[in-house]
Amino acid sequence: MNDFAGWMRLRQDRIERVLEAMLPPAVLSPARLHEAMRYAVLGGGKRMRPLLAFAAGELARADAARVERAAAAVELIHVYSLVHDDLPCMDDDVLRRGRPTCHIAFDEATAVLVGDALQTLAFYVLAEQPLAQDAAGQLDMVRILARAAGSRGMAGGQAIDLASTGRELGLPELEIMHIHKTGELIRAATLLGARCGNGLAVDEIERLDRFSKFAGLAFQVIDDVLDAQSDTATLGKTAGKDAHQNKPTYVSVLGVAGAREFAADLRRQALQALEAFGARAGRLRELIDFIVLRTS
């Protein structure tokens, strides 16, 4: 299958099966925790981060079985953050991927432990089997993921997000928040996919990293537009939440038209960063189009 939709569907199916096999069986003790971990991870989501890892892996001619595991590790981190962000003491949300959030379907204590155990599993997966050219390169991958997920990355972004609710933010502050909250993990997904392959040259890694920064920001800008414009059924998560919680977003700062224009600009810059790769970056180009043009 050479068309993008087919490529995407195949990889979404594949990552689902890989995650399925990675998660402890629901019958294994502690059964309720394992059941809840599977509930949170399986059966949903666009798998945007794994798709970026796959596309970057193809660019670096990486072994697909290795990229799958690296992609799954990133997705586990992403899902853990969703489960914790949805908690009553955080964003207090009841709907995610079209279903009750983890603490609604189970309970709060279980949801805290689900997030905790999914994060641990991500690092286990990243260390379990050979993924990079050598063990030193694989330790690098652990560092990349940990840096992206920690207090100076994703978790820090959520802290900034919580602190910004009800305040007015300018564009630079909004950007800082999102670079941390979603951008760093999207960068990590792209870099880890590439790390599974034949070592890219330093300038190639830099270009890929530039691409991933624009792609991550574009993803967030469109997320804000969709939150403002779509309904809950289409999104599979509570729509209009940002405005309701009085959160600063690209829409509240730029308006819908301005935000869409900004996303289009980010797309142009992302494509520019890929230029020197030629045909090898085909899937990454299709992905940035998908990110900017998606409707959910």
**Interface residues toward its own copies, by CB under 8 A:** 24, 28-30, 32-34, 37, 80-81, 84, 87, 89-90, 107-110, 112-113, 115-117, 119-121, 123-124, 126-128, 134-136, 138-140, 142-143, 145-147, 149-152, 155-156, 158-160, 162-163
Read off φ and ψ for residue 224, nearest 5 degrees. Answer: -65, -40
Q: How far is the CB of 119 from its own copies (least distance, A)?
A: 6
Residue 8 or residue 111: which is nearer to its own copies going by CB? Answer: 111
Q: How far is the CB of 46 from its own copies (least distance, A)?
A: 23
Q: How far is the CB of 130 from its own copies (least distance, A)?
A: 9
Q: Is the peptide bond before 172 cis (omega within 30 degrees of 0)?
A: no
| Contact between residue 114 and residue 102 where contact means Cβ atoms under 8 Å apart | yes
Residue 140 or residue 204: which is nearer to its own copies going by CB? Answer: 140
Residue 119 or residue 220: which is nearer to its own copies going by CB? Answer: 119
Q: How far is the CB of 7 from its own copies (least distance, A)?
A: 31
Structure tokens at 116: 């905790």
Q: How far is the CB of 82 from its own copies (least distance, A)?
A: 12
Distance separating alpha carbons of residues 105 and 29, to the nearest angstrom: 19
Residue 131 or residue 288: which is nearer to its own copies going by CB? Answer: 131
Closest CA to 261 of 292, 294, 240: 292
Q: How far is the CB of 133 from its own copies (least distance, A)?
A: 11
Q: Is the peptide bond before 30 cis (omega within 30 degrees of 0)?
A: yes
Residue 146 or residue 271: which is nearer to its own copies going by CB? Answer: 146
Read off φ and ψ for residue 95, nearest 5 degrees. Answer: -130, 135
| Kind plus residue range of the DSSP H or E element containing 100 | strand 99-100
Q: How far is the CB of 107 from its own copies (least distance, A)?
A: 7
Structure tokens at 67: 């990229």
Structure tokens at 280: 């090898």
Structure tokens at 58: 């193809």
| Contact between residue 119 and residue 149 where contact means Cβ atoms under 8 Å apart | yes
Residue 54 or residue 106: which is nearer to its own copies going by CB? Answer: 106
Closest CA to 158 of 91, 227, 112: 91
Residue 115 or residue 266: which is nearer to its own copies going by CB? Answer: 115
Distance separating alpha carbons of residues 38 and 49, to the nearest angstrom: 18
Residue 146 or residue 226: which is nearer to its own copies going by CB? Answer: 146
Distance separating alpha carbons of residues 75 and 53, to the nearest angstrom: 10
Q: How far is the CB of 252 from its own copies (least distance, A)?
A: 21
